[in-house]
Amino acid sequence: MSISVGDKLPDVTLVKATADGPDKVQSSDYFAGKKVALFSVPGAFTPTCSAKHLPGFVEKASELKAKGIDEIACTAVNDAFVMGAWGQRDGSGDVTMLADGNGDFAQAVGLTMDGSGFGLGQRGSRWSMVVNDGVVEQLNVEAPGEFKVSTAEYLLDQI
């Protein structure tokens, strides 16, 4: 069963990619007391994720923050080193890269996909949400193969 609007995020360990290396964070601590625009991609460096999804949030960061978003974060079932390298190449200081290396967070929120046909195995699906003090306020889950409702632009229209 997937997470819904009004649900509290599960408490799972994620790994924040930082300039000093991987930094483990508990989701309950990370999302406490702030409003976060969180989005998930099937994989760092993959075509849609690199060409559209992450760049959209980088481009719209100031607009999201002007509408009350305290932080923007991207999660994927990748390790912190990959997420860090992707953030350095395509991201910005406005987007925190949260590695979900074992897929624990994706499984806990019930938003997974089977990417085995592409050699990716089990991954987090493509979605965006607004999390306010650990509670889901908005949730936009893409249909398989689509890129419409998880964009930064779509999320901006909801805030």
For the chain, the domains span 13-158
Cα dihedral 36→40→46→51 (10° resolution): -40
**Residue 70 near residue 35, CB atoms below 8 Å:** yes
The whole-number pLDDT of residue 91 equals 80
Residues 6+ apart with CB under 8 A from 28: 9, 11, 134
The whole-number pLDDT of residue 46 equals 76
Cβ burial of 97 (10 Å; 0-12, 13-18, 19+) is: buried
Handedness of CA 134, 140, 72, 93 (dihedral sign): positive
**Residue 80 near residue 99, CB atoms below 8 Å:** yes
The whole-number pLDDT of residue 115 equals 61
What does each of the 159 residues of the chain score in pLDDT, given as a tens digit? Answer: 699 999 999 999 999 988 888 999 999 999 999 999 999 999 888 777 777 899 999 999 999 999 999 999 999 999 999 999 989 888 888 999 999 999 999 999 998 856 666 756 576 889 999 999 999 999 999 998 899 999 999 999 999
The whole-number pLDDT of residue 40 equals 96
Residues 6+ apart with CB under 8 A from 142: 125, 126, 127, 148, 149, 150
Full-prediction pTM beyond 0.95?
Answer: no
CATH superfamily of 13-158: Glutaredoxin (3.40.30.10)
Catalytic residue among 12, 14, 41, 49: 49
For the chain, the straight-line distance linking the first and the last C-alpha, in angstroms and rounded, comes to 25
Give the Å distances, CA to CA, from 104 to 24, 64, 82.
Answer: 13, 27, 17
The rounded distance, in Å, linking the Cα atoms of 68 and 93 is: 17
The whole-number pLDDT of residue 79 equals 92
49 given a catalytic annotation: yes
